[in-house]
Amino acid sequence: MGYSRLVRVGSHLYVSGTTATGDDGKLVGEGDPYVQAIQALTNIETALHRAGARLSDIVRTRIYVTNIDQWEEIGRAHCSFFGEIRPATSMVQVSRLIDPDMLVEIEAEGLIAKTGD
């Protein structure tokens, strides 16, 4: 679903700022920060799976929002993906995102543990 750019350098994962875009490139959840956060996180999860990683490999997320008063809805969406994982997280209000209808953008960083040592 949607688009998310992931760069892997050794065991380190870097997911670029990801928004609520669907497979067709169009915004999902216009006006709804919860739906947009869910879509962005789904896009991140898809990118991780394509790289052979999973949500539990994520150690840090950064959430950019256009209205910090919507933090509870966005936080609830984040928790639905990362509940037990609990990565270090920041949520920051910005004046706008690339599309004026976008309310949320999320970055993620991860570390894949070595196996077989």
Domains of the chain, by residue range, sit at: 6-111
The number of C-alpha atoms within 13 Å of 20 and in the hemisphere containing its C-beta is 25
State if pTM tops 0.85.
yes
* Alpha-carbon distances of 108 from 14, 50, 59, 100, rounded to whole Å: 6, 15, 8, 22
Q: Per the CATH hierarchy, to which homologous superfamily does domain 6-111 belong? A: RutC-like (3.30.1330.40)
Please report, in tens digits, the pLDDT of each residue of the chain (117 residues total). Answer: 567 899 999 999 999 999 999 999 999 999 999 999 999 999 999 999 999 999 999 999 999 999 999 999 999 999 999 999 999 999 999 999 999 999 999 999 999 987 654
